[in-house]
Amino acid sequence: MDDIEAIKQVQAQYGRAADTHDWELLRPTVTDDFHCDTGAGGRGETRGLEAFIARVGTNPAVTVHHALMPEIELTSPTTANGIWGVHLFAKMPDGAAVDAYGHYHNTYCKIDGAWKLASLKLKWLHREIRPGTPV
């Protein structure tokens, strides 16, 4: 598998692991010092794998993250940048639904032959919250 395809695979596995709260599936997708910043429209900034898992592990919402239309640039044999279109849907326990759009601005590094997310920054374009029936 070439490097760009491997980066696409790790991004997909990361999203699925976050949505299913499968932390053992998530661990190999990010670096130990992973930096995540979802900004004011999200849950803010977190540094470190364990802090990130603690943060997303407390999210009571059912989520579906779609990362689309990747623009991946290999910057060296072991580093890369990626921009992805993002669609996030979240259903909160009170029934509210969040429908949001933006772009991930990610960095990746290759460690022991495996690509991992080193950082993720989400820049929101639009976020809509609608009331609903409790789950």
Q: Residues for the chain: how many in total?
A: 135
Q: What is the pLDDT of residue 23?
A: 94
Structure token pair of residue 71: 């623009």
Q: What is the pLDDT of residue 131?
A: 92
Domain count of the chain?
Answer: 1
Nearest to 80 by CA among 20, 24, 3: 3
Examine residue 18 and state whether it is found in any structural domain, yes or no. Answer: yes
Is pLDDT larger for residue 50 or for residue 134?
Answer: 50
Whether the predicted pLDDT of 41 surpasses 80: no
Q: What is the pLDDT of residue 56?
A: 83
Examine residue 123 and state whether it is found in any structural domain, yes or no. Answer: yes
Domain containing residue 93 = 3-130
* pLDDT average, residue stretch 25-30: 96
Examine residue 135 and state whether it is found in any structural domain, yes or no. Answer: no
Is pLDDT larger for residue 72 or for residue 60?
Answer: 72
- Proportion of the chain above pLDDT 90, given as a percent: 82
Burial class (CB in 10 A: 0-12, 13-18, 19+), 85: middle
Structure token pair of residue 128: 């809509």
Give tens-digit pLDDT for 73-93: 999 999 999 999 999 999 999
Examine residue 93 and state whether it is found in any structural domain, yes or no. Answer: yes
Whether the predicted pLDDT of 94 surpasses 80: yes
Whether the predicted pLDDT of 42 surpasses 70: no
CATH no. for residue 113?
A: 3.10.450.50
Examine residue 101 and state whether it is found in any structural domain, yes or no. Answer: yes
Q: What is the pLDDT of residue 126?
A: 94
**Contact present, 31 and 47 (Cβ < 8 Å):** no
